[in-house]
Copies of this chain bind each other. A is one copy, B any other.
Amino acid sequence: MSLQEILHRVQNGEISVDQAEQEIQGFEDLGFVKIDYDRESRTGFPEVIFGRGKTVEQVQIIFSRIYQKHGKAMVTQATEKMAEIIQQDFPDANYDPMSRLITIGHGEKRFAGKVAVLSAGTADLPVAQEAAQTAEWMGNEVDRIYDVGVAGIDRLLAQRKRIQEASIVIVCAGMEGALASAVGGLVRRPVIAVPTSVGYGAHLSGLTPLLSMLTSCAAGVTVVNIDNGFGAAVAASMIQQAIKEGPLGE
């Protein structure tokens, strides 16, 4: 709706003043939260709910509003309790205890090309699945290539072709995070590294692979926060959007 349209509708009593204010501002103010309805038009993707640190009630309310507005919604780092409550109202909402994502309105494929999601070990799967499922929900085709850590380099090289064919490569690795460097040298496409909190002792809950990936000897690898499979998938989707839409402002 254009500004004129909104104002006409207010004049005609078709929408309330509150609704109009929310349309003009682009967000709805519920006091404890200001839901950013404008984000999809601004960035290409609707707001996603970060579950950690929110109460079940807060998540429930925000989920409901976003779903009403966009016809889809997602919660990251969600608890089982959050999933139960939401599924009471939205039986179609899906919850995966491994990735801890609640999703509804999972979108069809919007982008050409594939996002490859690699994991170094089996224990990195929760993060890899968060990345893969988020990427799918955002409209990407995903190629899962799991358990290809560098201690068995032949297992990695056996997948070389699949990796090179992806449009973007997401590498999830705990321990020392060496996989990002090995992959970074093999491809002509962006590599996004996700350190995981899998490890112990000198692994420092993921700080070690985080720092390791940041100092990768493979130029051009970029990094997101520990266990942030979601963030890697968003970055990948932004790149996919750039590929699809091509240059702006020309």
Contacts and interface: CB of A to CB of B under 8 A. Distances in A.
Given A34-B152, A152-B185, A198-B52, A212 B242 contact: no
Which of A164, A189, A217, A221 has the largest number of chain B CB atoms within 10 A? A217
Nearest to A156: B153
Given A185-B152, A189-B238, A231 B219 contact: yes
Interface string A77-110: 1000000000000000000000000000000000
A247 B217 contact: no
Nearest to A196: B53
Given A52-B123, A208-B208, A231 B220 contact: yes
Contacts of A48: 219
A153 B215 contact: no
A171 to B, nearest CB: 12
Interface string A136-164: 00000000101111111111011001001
A219 B234 contact: yes
Interface stretch (A3-11, A63-71, A199-207): A199-207
A202 B230 CA distance: 15
Which of A25, A121, A151, A224 has the largest number of chain B CB atoms within 10 A? A151
Contacts of A206: 201
A158 B204 CA distance: 34
A117 interface: no
Contacts of A36: 152, 155
B247 A168 contact: no
Contacts of A167: 242, 247-248
Which of A114, A146, A155, A200 has the largest number of chain B CB atoms within 10 A? A200
A172 interface: no
Contacts of A133: none
B243 A220 contact: no
B165 A249 contact: yes
A12 to B, nearest CB: 26
A211 B214 contact: no
A114 B248 CA distance: 9
A220 B235 contact: yes
Nearest to A126: B53
